[in-house]
Amino acid sequence: MRNNQQSRNVVLTGFMGSGKSTVGVILAGKLVKEFVDTDTIIEQMYGAIPEIFKSEGEDAFRRYEREVSEQLALKENLVIATGGKLLLDQTNAELLGSSGRIFCLSAPVDQIIERILKDGLSERPLLDSEDFEEQLKEIYYQRAASYASFEQVDTAGRAPSEIASEIRDLLLPENK
């Protein structure tokens, strides 16, 4: 039973720029699990995300996210960073939630804007707009209630390693 618990996946959700991949890599090191990123898997299978959005449309991208969720739900011992909207689909959330524990990284909208500007916008087709900030805020507030339904980890003003340590501690048997 204990081994079984230990091999369960850890799944990270949260808005674009909330730090899922950065925190996920560090967390995987701490937990001795393999790190995977759903956007990277889709890119390996189907090509660059902006290109998928442009040539096949967002619906095709969301179908690829479902396919990846089905595949990853069958695996264990992973830390999975998910694309920002993947777990807002109920079926995907059920699939990945059945394979492990889900944490949502949260940050105030101003910090999200700052981080995304630092990362660069080019990989995020949903924010490809004349008024990037307005577009981002609209999506952020549209999704806020959905993200709030997951177990929250506050990232505001905190270093990725500190956030990863908090998640590791939340996973300790006494904190379950």
Least distance (Å) between residue 98 CB and ligand S3P: 21
Binding mask 88-127 for ligand S3P (x = CB under 6 A): ------------------------------------xxx-
The residue written with tokens 């006494």 in the block is: 174
Q: Which residues of 49-83 are buried (b: 16+ CB within 10 A; e: fewer)?
A: beebbeeeeeeebeebbeebbeebbeeeebbbbbb
Our CB check for ligand S3P shows the closer of 37 and 167 to be 37
Residue number, 9 or 38, with CB nearest to ligand S3P: 38
Residues 78, 105 contacting (CB under 8 angstroms): no
The span of 3-11, 23-31, 79-87, 97-105 binding ligand S3P (CB under 6 A) equals 79-87
Confirm or reject binding of residue 33 to ligand S3P (CB under 6 A): no
Q: In whole angstroms, what is the distance from residue 169 CA to residue 176 CA?
A: 10
Q: Which of residues 121-150 bind ligand S3P (CB under 6 A)?
A: 124-126
Options 4-12, 23-31, 83-91, 145-153: segment touching ligand S3P (CB under 6 A): 83-91
H-state helical runs in 47-101? 49-55, 58-73, 90-99
Q: How many residues bind ligand S3P (CB under 6 A)?
A: 10
